Structure 1
Amino acid sequence: DAFGGRYAIDLVPVDARGRSGPIGWRTLLATEDPTGFAGWGRPVAAPVGGVVALVHDGEPDARVRRSPLAYPGFALTQAARARRGLPGLAGNCVVIDVGAGGPFVLVAHLRNGSVGVRPGERVAAGQPIGVCGNSGNSTQPHVHLQVSDSLDWTTARGLPLAFTAYRTESGIVREAVPDEAQVIESA
């Protein structure tokens, strides 16, 4: 349950063809520019209401690493990111305290300079808090979402989460967690 991420979900935006980004020679052989990806710069809303407990901004956005040739370099720097703690892993992020002292909802990998809320600020579910980026321990633009019982990431335990409602190609699903690789949208 490292860093309270046992039940974490990665939300990877895709285009109308179901792709997170363009396919080209760089996809197979090199790193890619994140700005051409479906998620890059898309608004990110607070998934719950609460009080902002913590924000971090100022981490650079990395190049995309989907290539089997580009990934080993990323993997070799994993330990260094973990040693930096939350900034190295979550990158630019917002943590929302849902109650008085938890649970805490982490929204991570926001674009550098995009965090639009401050600690102590009350936010409502659906309120813009930043935009999707590729900061921290991220190989392509996406939003990492997790719930934990503590702000001490070295001892935090992950807590299960569910979406109130989302839409799939089969219809609206309520109070559930999407299947891995399932394409969903807001209901």
Structure 2
Amino acid sequence: MNAWHRSLVALLLSLAAAGAIAQRTPQKQSFDLHVPWIPQPVQVDGKTSLVYELRVTNYAQEPLKLTQLTVLDAQDHVLAEWGKTALDQILGRPDHPADHDNALLPPGISAIAFLSTPIDSSTAAKGGIKHRILYATSSGQTFHVEGGTFAIDPPKPLQLGPPLRGGPWVAIYDARWERGHRRVLYATNGTVHIPGRFAIDWILVGDHGGYARGDGATPAQWFGYGAQVLAVADAVVASTGEGIPEARTLAEGAAHKVSLENAAGNYVALALGDGRYAFYEHLKPASITVKAGDHVRRGQVIGQLGFTGESTGPHLHFHVSDANAPLSAEGLPYALERFRVRGTYTSIEAFDQGKPWLPSTKTEADVRRGEFPAPLMVVDFGGDGYVE
């Protein structure tokens, strides 16, 4: 055997040995980690975050228990971390397990981690985000897996005018609520979406709390009922949905089952450009003043706040999404150009019970620019829809 032949044989033998070693590396069947929507940064109460979902599916043949979830940047810096107790607050399960243990995933079952990960400008510039899951098997062994990697979508600034005038209006939403907008998934037309990822229900409250006169049993007793709803930008009316009647009382509305196609009630959708649409839902019957194809100006009245569709009380549901569809779309972040913070509610229970909201402790007017309101924040948009 000549020299080159011996060298070739040696090389092939070494490659075969390396392949054999690689094949013997232990492999563990576990989770698929998937981020279905690439988030854009959003600024809430002066802090920038990525708001998105991590879907975790167990492909093992045994139950696996999630014990820790960590979000890391491209340099393996920890951006956010949730341990055993905190996982209970961010995990949801479409199958709603009877034992409420969302972190224990049987074979073939998925959980959704509803994440809000703080970032800064340097993180956004460097890009990549990944996730590390620590988990335990039924025998008590612990392992980890990484995945759900994505590059941060460059910011696409969308600053909008106010959807309403005056105030005080309370921004009703919270990512922790199991049946809040943020955690409600709609599987329509063959794809699952979260249209209300950044939805806010705007409810007018009194200067000292409360949201209705008397017992609030009828829509007209609510302070915000009939308030003028405003176009948030110069836009084209993409669609309207009308013809949904209004229940005479809140009790009557609660007793009536609303179909998915009517859940938005009477609504208006505005095409904002760049594939983004603003949705105004639950509008008062016969109050819509525009039709599809109309051009509207920022601040123009397009309808009135009402009590139609799937609603527990008169309010304006407002969100921005990536399609002209109330449900079959992904909710997108945005900022309000200007609003004044007057205070906040300590909890949704305090709001429900008509308790006073806590005034802002700032000595000067707390005017925010280019932000998304924080949960349960009480704000004022000014008499003409603008604050100084």
TM-score bin (small chain): 0.7 to 0.9
**What residue in structure 2 maps to residue 177 of structure 1?**
372
Cα deviations by residue, 1:15-64 (Å, 9 ceiling, x for unpaired): 2322211353xx6xxxx110111111111111222100101122112345
**Structure-1-length-normalised TM-score:** 0.81
Q: Do 1:117 and 1:129's aligned partners in 2 also have CA atoms closer than 8 Å?
A: yes
Q: Which amino acid aligns with 1:92?
A: N
- Do structure 1's residue 150 and structure 2's residue 323 form an aligned pair? yes
Which of 298, 303, 325 is the matching residue for 1:130?
303
Among all aligned residue pairs of Structure 1 and Structure 2, give the percentage whose two residues are the same amino acid. Answer: 34
Using the TM superposition, give the Cα deviation of residue 182 of structure 1 relative to its aligned residue in structure 2, in angstroms.
1.4
Q: Which amino acid aligns with 2:203?
A: V
**Structure-2-length-normalised TM-score:** 0.41
Runs (5+) with no aligned partner, structure 2:
1-184, 187-193, 343-361, 382-386
Aligned CA distance change for structure 1 residues 49 and 16 (closer, same or farther; 3 Å): same
Map residues 55-66 of structure 1 onto 2, 5 A cutoff.
55-63=240-248, 65=250
Which of 257, 266, 287 is the matching residue for 1:92?
266
**What residue in structure 2 maps to residue 40 of structure 1?**
225
SS, match of residue 98 in structure 1 = strand
Q: Distance in 2 between matches of 1:149 and 1:53?
A: 12
**What residue in structure 1 maps to residue 98 of structure 2?**
none
Q: Distance in 2 between matches of 1:37 and 1:166?
A: 23
SS, match of residue 254 in structure 2 = helix
- Do structure 1's residue 140 and structure 2's residue 313 form an aligned pair? yes
Q: Do 1:64 and 1:140's aligned partners in 2 also have CA atoms closer than 8 Å?
A: no
Cα deviations by residue, 1:101-128 (Å, 9 ceiling, x for unpaired): x201101111000000011001111100
Q: Distance in 1 between matches of 2:315 and 2:328?
A: 25
Q: How many residues align structurally? A: 169
Which of 58, 73, 81 is the matching residue for 2:259?
81
Aligned CA distance change for structure 1 residues 153 and 132 (closer, same or farther; 3 Å): closer
- Do structure 1's residue 104 and structure 2's residue 295 form an aligned pair? no
Aligned CA distance change for structure 1 residues 121 and 182 (closer, same or farther; 3 Å): same
Q: Do 1:166 and 1:172's aligned partners in 2 also have CA atoms closer than 8 Å?
A: yes
Aligned CA distance change for structure 1 residues 34 and 179 (closer, same or farther; 3 Å): same
Cα deviations by residue, 1:58-90 (Å, 9 ceiling, x for unpaired): 21123454xxxx59x83872xx421xx2xx111
Cα deviations by residue, 1:98-155 (Å, 9 ceiling, x for unpaired): 116x201101111000000011001111100011111111111110101111124453
SS, match of residue 302 in structure 2 = strand
SS, match of residue 263 in structure 2 = helix
SS, match of residue 125 in structure 1 = coil
Cα deviations by residue, 1:141-172 (Å, 9 ceiling, x for unpaired): 11010111112445311101221111112411
SS, match of residue 184 in structure 1 = strand
**What residue in structure 1 maps to residue 106 of structure 2?**
none
Q: Do 2:265 and 2:282's aligned partners in 1 also have CA atoms closer than 8 Å?
A: yes
Q: Distance in 1 between matches of 2:287 and 2:240?
A: 11
Q: Which amino acid aligns with 1:55?
A: T
Q: Distance in 2 between matches of 1:39 and 1:163?
A: 20
Question: Which has the larger strand fraction?
Answer: 2
Q: Distance in 1 between matches of 2:256 and 2:372?
A: 32
**What residue in structure 1 maps to residue 144 of structure 2?**
none
Q: Distance in 2 between matches of 1:11 and 1:19?
A: 14
Q: Which amino acid aligns with 2:300?
A: Q
